[in-house]
Amino acid sequence: MPTLTRWLIKTALVYFVASLLLGVLLAARDAFTLSPALAALMPVYFHLLMVGWVTQLIFGVAFWMFPRYSKEKPRGREGLAWAMYASLNAGLLLRALAEPMLAATTAPFWAGVLVFSALLKWSAGLMFVANMWKRIREK
Amino acid sequence: MPRLSVLLIRTALVYFAAGFTLGGLMLVEKAVRIDPVLWRFFDAHVEFLLIGWTVQLAMGVAFWMLPRFAGGTSRGNEPAAWTAFFLVNAGVLLAGFGSFFGLPRAVSLTGRVFEVGAALAFAVHAWPRIRPSP
């Protein structure tokens, strides 16, 4: 298993646990009438689960198992794939921080961080597609 | 990798890029209030990423990797799998764009029905391939 796949899958596992813990907190908000401000965490919960866990697990397995790009570069541009990993996780973490902070404070600083996190996640997605596209081909 | 898997997985990648782009635009809108009309992309964002990307990718990989027949030369009922490919994509487009363009709700509903048809067609294809090793 390539090093990047191990990083992607282990990071995905961390998000898996973290997102479901957040799900418990959101359920507790309803059960124990905790602060309504916690509702701002709902999109964070969903994106940590679907992007941090599901999508990142797919990325890790695809990078490992999909047909090889070439003999010299079996997994395509590895540098681009590492940049994708860094960009995706930086974007997710910044979003997880900025989205509830913006809901709580409406400070322009957090709006800027949220925009930056969107750019990071979006560019990570495009990097993944660019690196995988040519590996998806007929035998 | 068989041609249908290439089509399913590449189409899934297109939906992934489109869904991520729509999600990014809505996130930016949430931060800096560009134009609330961007929120009309919400259904398309969810539909593209959940069905267009995740489900379609799983179908592509399953079509490629599940056990084959006739000593490894046949994938069985391929027309059913092709039917699933066309239905799932028609369904995602109808369900995703129905609300964005303000089309009647019957359009989104038809999209969802197509997606169920895709699931059934894919199950018909894949069911016999789920078996013990010879």
Contact call for B20 and A125, based on CB within 8 A: yes
Residue of chain A nearest B29, judged by CA positions: A115
Kindly list the residues from chain B whose CB atom is less than 8 angstroms away from the CB atom of residue A48.
none
Label residue A31 by pLDDT band (50, 70, 90).
confident
What pLDDT, on a 0 to 100 scale, did the predictor assign at position B96?
92
Closest of B39, B14, B42 to residue A125, by C-alpha: B14
pLDDT at B134: 65
A95 in B contact zone (CB under 8 Å): yes
Verify whether the Cβ–Cβ distance B6 to A139 is below 8 Å.
Answer: no
Chain B: nearest CA to A90, how far in angstroms?
A: 14
ipTM metric: 0.91
Domain ranges in chain B are 3-66+74-129
Q: How far apart are CA A96 and CA A22, in angstroms?
A: 11
Indicate yes or no: CB of B28 within 8 angstroms of CB of A138: no
In chain A, which among 101-120 make CB contacts under 8 A with chain B?
102, 110-112, 114-115, 117-119
Decide: helix, strand or coil at residue B90: helix
- pLDDT tens for the 134 residues of chain B, in order: 999 999 999 999 999 999 999 999 999 999 998 889 899 999 999 999 999 999 999 999 999 999 998 777 789 999 999 999 999 999 999 999 888 888 999 999 999 999 999 999 999 999 999 988 76
Q: A130: nearest CA in chain B?
A: B13
**Residue with the two structure tokens 């764009």:** B97
pLDDT digit string (tens) for A47-71? 999 999 999 999 999 999 999 988 8
Provide the pLDDT for residue A139.
Answer: 76
